[in-house]
Amino acid sequence: MRPPTASRPSTARLGRGWYLAAVLSAVLAVGMCLLGWRQADQADRINADPVKVQGTVTQLAAGTGTYSSVNYPAQGRTLTATDLWLPEESRVGDRICLEYAGDDPGAVRACGKRYPQPAGVGLARVSVPVALLLLAFSCYRIWLHRRGAGGARRSRPRTTVAFASESFGAGMPAISHGKRSRRRRKSGRRALR
């Protein structure tokens, strides 16, 4: 009786792990789709009405969590764009050609580039198919787990009956330590009297 009860929590944890993997992969796929869609939308708006300006590099990317930033004039204001494509030899204070959308000065990219942040589009192109594959595999594993759990539920009573019949057949005492059988004998004797 112990092996089935010991394996139940581990299979339950395994099932929950696949549910978590499915949810995370779905969130990743949706998030990367939104990132790619935003980049493509900004690129289309810039293409519709491009305005070229000269921006000034104010910060360079240095490791993780630090992005490059460029200040540029747009509609009488000075705006800042972060994480744009910059030439490798760029330094703080260098001038760089930028183009922004006439109706949305926040949509800006380096001149000659298709997307504002090419790295974001490349990341979306790679990560969305991987996330969808992981989601499909997780759903398949969940289906197998549920199917196996249903089969285990159906076979559990049969296993219990098999164990009970083996224990009684081997001459082992009953679970109630013989109290039940004595009562039956007494009631049987009373009935005979």
Domains held by the chain: number: 1
In whole angstroms, give the CA distance from residue 85 to residue 104. 19
- Residue 97 · residue 54 · CB < 8 Å: yes
The pTM of this model reads: 0.56
In whole angstroms, give the CA distance from residue 40 to residue 128. 15
Neighbours of 74 (CB within 10 A): 19
pLDDT at position 116: 85
Coil/strand/helix, residue 52: strand
Specify if 52 maps to a domain: yes
Specify if 180 maps to a domain: no
Output the CA angle 180-181-185, nearest 5 degrees. Answer: 120
- Residue 112 · residue 43 · CB < 8 Å: no
Segments forming the whole domain that contains residue 58: 15-139
- List the one residue out of 22, 21, 19, 40 whose CA is nearest residue 124: 40
Could you list the pLDDT tens digit for every one of the 193 residues in the chain? 455 544 455 555 556 788 888 888 889 889 888 888 888 898 999 999 999 999 999 998 877 767 889 999 998 899 999 888 888 888 999 999 999 999 889 899 999 888 887 777 777 888 888 988 988 998 888 888 777 765 555 544 444 444 454 555 555 555 555 555 555 555 555 555 5
Coil/strand/helix, residue 59: strand
In whole angstroms, give the CA distance from residue 158 to residue 156. 5
Residue 54 gets the label, from left (phi > 0), alpha (psi -120 to 50) or beta, of beta
Specify if 1 maps to a domain: no
> Residue 108: phi, psi to the nearest 5?
-135, 150
Specify if 103 maps to a domain: yes
- Residue 132 · residue 124 · CB < 8 Å: no
